[in-house]
C-alpha cells in the first residue's frame, strides 16, 4: 500500500499524466460524487470490496482520473464527509467484515482535502451483505464470477490441486529413477542429509506429500513415473522448442517427467546451445555462458512450481537465437504483478508442492528465486528478465545479452573489499551505464520500491559506496555515475567517455534546433518533441531547458503543462 508521502509524490505527476495513467493493481483514484452522499458512500464500499479481493491497496478519493493538470484533477472531498462514518459504513455493508483505514491528505487544490482509504489484504472472497462483489485485476474491478471465486480459492490455499490424494498404492506411482534424481538435485542444494537418507517409502511422508498413507499429486509430480503422471495429472507436459523463427522450429522435445527429471532434461537441452565465452582476468581464465545456469534453473523451477496443472496446456520453453521464452499455464495470483514481483509477499498456487520442494531446499519460500535470477544476470552486465502476465498464463523472457567483463570484475573487486552490491544497487548501476542519470521516480519503478525506500538506497550509494554523485535539488534531484566508477564499468574504448557528456551534447543539439526554427519562423518545441530527439524523459527535458534558459537568456518558454513551448528569441 502507498503512504501519504508516496501519494504526494504521485500527485506531483498530474501536470504531465492523468491519474488514470498513474493507477496500478494496488492504487486507484476516484472523484467524489458530490451530487449524492448515498452514492458516494456506496462507491467507497464497492472499492473496499474490490481492493480487499485483489490483495489490498490504496484508493484516493477526490481526484478526477481522466483530467490532466493538478488544479483541474484534484477536486477534493467536501469537509463535512466524516471518515469515521465511512469506516462504519464499510464495516456494516461487507461480509466478511472489512475495516479499512481512512486518512486525510491536505492539498492546496479543490476543497483542500483528499480521503485516502487503505485496504489491508485479508482472507477473501469479500462481498456486500447481498452477496455482490468485485475483484481488482490490473486497473479494473471485475465482477466476482465463479471463475474468479475459484481463483481466490486457489490463492488462499482452499483449493490446492496438488494436495489431492491419488487413490492408488504409492508403490505403483513412484519411480526409483525419479526419486534418485530428486535426491541428487536436493543434495546439490544442501538438503539435510538425514532427509535424503530416507528410503522411497519414508521420504514422501517426511516432505509432506503423503495424506492418510496415500500419495498426493504433489508427491506424484516430485517422484512419480511418467506413466503415472500422464494418467493422474493429464494436464501436465513440458515442451522445449528450438525456434528458427517466430513460427517455425527445428527441434522439439516433450515429456511428462517428474519435476527433478524434467528440470535436468530441459536444462541439458538449453545448455547444449548456450555458448560459452572465456574471459581472462589476471592469470586466470573464466568461462561464462550466454544464459547463467542459475538464472535458467530458477526460471524453470518457477514455471514448474507455479503452473496451473488443471489446465491442459504445456510448460513451454522456446529457445530463439536471441532469447529464451518460458511460459507456464496460470497467470499471476494474489495481487502479484510484473511491476511488484521482486518484493511482493510470496503467494503460491500449489502450496503442497511448494512446501515439499522447500523442505528439499530446491526452492526458497522467501521469494528469493526471482531476485537470484535478476542478480545472476545483472552481475554479468546483462539485461534482467522481462515478464508478462497473460491472464491464463505467465511468460518470462531471458535475453541473450552480451557479457560485460568490466562490470563482472567490478562486482568481484567490490566483494573483496567487503562491499555487498545487492539487487537495488545492480539495477541502478546498470541503468546508469545506459542513461546519463536517474531520478528517484525512475529508480523506484526500476527497483519496485517506494520513493522513500529508493531515496535511501541512492543516498547510501552516494554516501557509503561512493559510486554515484547527486545533482539538482528538491523535485529536480538526480544521480549520475561518478567519473571514476564509470571508468571502471565502461566497455573498452568508452572508459575515457563520461556519460555526462551526453547531457551536454543534448543541450547543444536542442539549442541549435531552437535557433534554426527561429530563423525559419517556425514555432517552438514541446517537451514531447524534445524527448523524441534527445531520448531523455519528461523531467530531464524540463531540467535541460531550465539550464539552457539560465545559460542563454534568448531561450524562452510560453504556455504551461502539456501546452508549454520552448523557443529561441533574437536579442533586440
Tens-digit pLDDT profile for residues 28-41? 999 999 999 999 99
pLDDT at 463 over 90: yes
Average pLDDT score over residue span 406-414: 90
CB contact burial 68-91 (16+ within 10 A = b; e otherwise): bbbeebbbbbeeebebeebbebbe
Q: What is the pTM of this model?
A: 0.71
Q: Which band of pLDDT confidence, cut at 50, 70 and 90, is reported for residue 366? A: low
| Phi, then psi, of 475 in degrees rounded to 5 | -70, -15
Which CATH code is given to the segment(s) 4-144? 3.30.950.30
Q: Are 199 and 363 in contact (CB under 8 A)?
A: no
C-alpha cell at 404: 560485460
C-alpha cell at 350: 500449489
Which CATH code is given to the segment(s) 405-489? 1.10.10.10
Is the peptide bond between 483 and the residue preceding it cis, with omega within 30 degrees of 0? no
CA angle 539, 541, 547 (to 5 degrees): 105
Q: Are 201 and 207 in contact (CB under 8 A)?
A: no
Q: Which band of pLDDT confidence, cut at 50, 70 and 90, is reported for residue 529? A: confident
Average pLDDT score over residue span 512-524: 85
Query: Which CATH class for the 238-254+270-399 domain?
Result: alpha beta
Within 10 angstroms of residue 507's Cβ, the number of other Cβ atoms is 17
Q: Is it true that 238-254+270-399 and 405-489 share their CATH fold?
A: no
Phi and psi based region of residue 55 (left: phi greater than 0; alpha: psi -120 to 50; beta: remaining): left
Domain range annotation of the chain: 4-144, 238-254+270-399, 405-489, 500-568
| Phi, then psi, of 365 in degrees rounded to 5 | -75, -10
Q: Report which of residues 384 and 55 the model is more confident about.
A: 384
Query: Cβ neighbours of residue 222 under 8 Å, at least 6 residues apart?
Result: 178, 182, 204, 207, 209, 258, 259, 260, 353, 356, 357
Per-residue pLDDT, 539: 83
In angstroms, the CA 417 to CA 352 distance is: 42
In angstroms, the CA 507 to CA 431 distance is: 21
- Going by their DSSP bridges, the two strands 57-61 and 284-289 should be labelled as unpaired
Query: Which CATH class for the 500-568 domain?
Result: mainly alpha
pLDDT at 155 over 70: no
Q: Report which of residues 482 and 242 the model is more confident about.
A: 242
Q: Are 121 and 52 in contact (CB under 8 A)?
A: yes
What average pLDDT is seen over the chain? 89
Per-residue pLDDT, 497: 47
Amino acid at each position: 500500500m502507498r503512504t501519504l508521502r508516496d501519494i504526494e509524490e504521485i500527485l506531483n505527476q498530474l501536470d504531465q499524466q492523468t491519474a488514470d495513467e498513474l493507477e496500478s493493481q494496488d492504487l486507484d483514484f476516484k472523484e467524489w460524487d458530490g451530487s449524492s452522499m448515498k452514492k458516494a458512500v456506496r462507491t467507497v464500499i464497492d472499492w473496499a470490496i474490490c481492493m480487499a479481493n485483489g490483495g489490498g491497496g490504496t484508493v484516493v478519493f477526490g481526484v478526477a482520473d481522466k483530467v490532466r493538470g493538478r488544479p483541474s484533477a484534484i477536486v477534493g472531498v467536501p469537509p463535512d464527509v466524516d471518515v469515521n462514518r465511512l469506516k462504519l459504513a464499510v464495516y456494516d455493508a461487507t461480509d466478511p467484515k472489512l475495516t479499512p483505514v481512512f486518512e486525510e491528505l491536505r492539498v492546496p487544490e479543490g476543497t483542500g482535502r483528499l480521503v485516502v482509504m487503505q485496504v489491508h489484504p485479508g482472507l477473501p472472497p469479500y462481498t456486500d451483505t447481498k452477496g455482490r462483489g468485485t475483484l481488482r485485476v490490473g486497473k479494473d474491478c471485475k465482477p466476482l464470477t465463479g471463475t474468479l471465486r475459484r481463483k481466490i480459492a486457489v490463492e488462499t490455499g482452499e483449493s490446492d490441486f496438488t494436495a489431492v490424494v491419488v487413490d492408488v498404492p504409492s508403490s505403483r506411482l513412484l519411480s526409483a529413477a525419479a526419486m534418485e534424481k530428486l535426491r541428487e538435485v536436493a543434495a546439490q542444494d544442501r538438503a539435510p542429509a538425514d532427509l535424503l537418507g530416507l528410503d522411497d517409502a519414508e521420504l514422501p511422508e517426511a516432505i509432506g506429500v503423503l495424506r492418510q498413507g496415500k500419495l498426493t499429486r504433489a508427491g506424484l509430480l516430485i517422484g512419480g513415473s511418467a506413466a503415472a503422471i500422464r494418467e493422474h495429472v493429464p494436464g501436465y507436459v513440458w515442451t522445449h522448442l528450438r525456434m528458427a523463427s517466430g513460427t517455425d522450429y527445428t527441434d522439439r522435445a516433450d515429456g511428462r517427467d517428474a519435476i527433478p527429471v524434467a528440470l535436468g532434461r530441459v536444462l541439458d537441452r538449453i545448455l547444449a546451445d548456450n555458448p560459452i565465452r572465456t574471459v581472462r582476468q589476471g592469470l586466470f581464465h573464466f568461462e561464462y555462458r550466454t544464459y547463467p545456469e542459475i538464472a535458467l534453473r530458477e526460471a524453470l523451477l518457477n514455471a514448474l512450481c507455479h503452473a496451473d496443472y488443471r489446465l491442459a496446456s504445456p510448460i513451454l520453453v522456446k529457445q530463439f537465437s536471441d532469447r529464451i521464452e518460458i511460459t507456464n499455464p496460470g497467470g499471476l495470483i494474489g495481487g502479484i504483478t510484473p511491476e511488484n514481483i521482486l518484493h511482493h509477499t510470496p503467494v503460491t498456487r500449489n502450496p503442497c508442492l511448494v512446501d515439499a520442494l522447500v523442505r528439499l531446499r530446491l526452492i526458497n519460500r522467501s521469494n528469493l528465486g526471482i531476485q537470484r535470477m535478476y542478480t545472476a544476470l545483472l552481475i554479468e552486465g546483462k539485461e534482467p528478465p522481462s515478464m508478462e502476465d497473460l491472464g491464463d498464463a505467465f511468460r518470462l523472457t531471458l535475453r541473450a545479452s552480451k557479457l560485460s567483463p568490466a562490470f563482472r570484475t567490478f562486482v568481484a573487486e567490490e566483494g573483496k573489499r567487503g562491499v555487498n552490491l545487492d539487487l537495488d544497487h545492480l539495477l541502478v548501476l546498470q541503468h546508469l551505464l545506459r542513461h546519463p542519470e536517474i531520478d528517484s521516480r525512475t529508480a523506484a519503478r526500476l527497483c519496485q520500491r517506494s520513493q522513500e525506500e529508493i531515496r535511501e538506497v541512492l543516498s547510501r550509494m552516494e554516501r557509503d559506496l561512493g559510486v554515484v554523485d547527486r545533482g539538482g535539488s528538491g523535485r529536480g534531484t538526480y544521480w549520475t555515475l561518478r567519473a571514476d566508477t564509470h571508468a571502471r564499468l565502461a566497455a573498452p574504448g568508452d572508459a575515457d567517455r563520461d556519460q555526462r557528456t551526453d547531457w551536454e551534447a543534448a543541450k547543444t543539439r536542442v539549442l541549435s534546433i531552437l535557433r534554426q526554427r527561429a530563423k525559419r519562423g517556425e514555432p517552438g518545441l514541446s517537451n514531447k518533441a524534445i524527448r523524441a530527439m534527445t531520448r531523455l524523459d519528461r523531467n530531464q527535458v524540463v531540467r535541460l531547458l531550465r539550464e539552457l534558459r539560465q545559460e542563454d537568456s534568448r531561450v524562452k518558454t510560453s504556455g504551461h503543462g502539456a501546452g508549454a513551448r520552448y523557443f529561441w528569441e533574437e536579442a533586440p
